[in-house]
Amino acid sequence: MTSKSAFIFALFFPLTVGSLSCHAETFQWKDINGQTVVSDVPPPATAKGRRSIGGAKPALVSEAIPEKAPDTPKAVEAPKTIAEKNLEFKKRQQEAREKADKRAKEQAAEKEKSENCERARRNLAALESSQPINTIGDNGERNAMDASQRAQEIERARKFLADTCK
């Protein structure tokens, strides 16, 4: 390392470190016991007389004192055991399976409904066409459908389409 580069390093290194530390934000507040605390961590909500001192961007810290500090601190949750984590994981898996099964049933019902509607539309189109239509009677013989029967079937098919295929 030459003396020129050592000089540059010696000059700019402290400036760089100094400029980084001047951008840090500092907070000052009084804790529950009335002691003044200065820290780079924002004060808790229960702190009295909170304010931001120093730093490039002062934080919006409220000077208002909370109405009443809680008498009992919140209980800290203990870390979950492996058994509890496994139980939660299995519960999430079961819920996901149930949700997937429900979605599959809904999709199957929707598909069946659309197929039924398509069959009903084709049936109505066949009834409204001028082609002769036969029905099979109780004894197995084919009987030609007359105009009144056709009109009844057309009315029934239209009602079915209106009720189920919206």
**pLDDT for the residue numbered 45:** 75
SS3 state at 162: helix
Q: What is the DSSP letter of 28?
A: E
3-state per-residue secondary structure call for 50-113: EEEECCCCCCCCCCCCCCCCCCCCCCCCCCCCHHHHHHHHHHHHHHHHHHHHHHHHHHHHHHHH
**Does the structure show a pLDDT above 80 at 20?**
no
pLDDT tens, 99-154? Answer: 999 999 999 999 999 999 999 999 999 999 888 888 888 888 998 888 898 999 99
**CA-CA distance, 49 to 30, in Å (whole number)?**
6
- What is the number of residues in the chain? 166
**pLDDT for the residue numbered 57:** 52
Q: At what angle do helices 147-164 and 82-128 cross, to 10 degrees?
A: 150
**Does the structure show a pLDDT above 80 at 19?**
no
Domain spans, the chain: 3-53, 115-166
| pTM for the predicted model, two decimal places | 0.43
**CA-CA distance, 62 to 68, in Å (whole number)?**
15
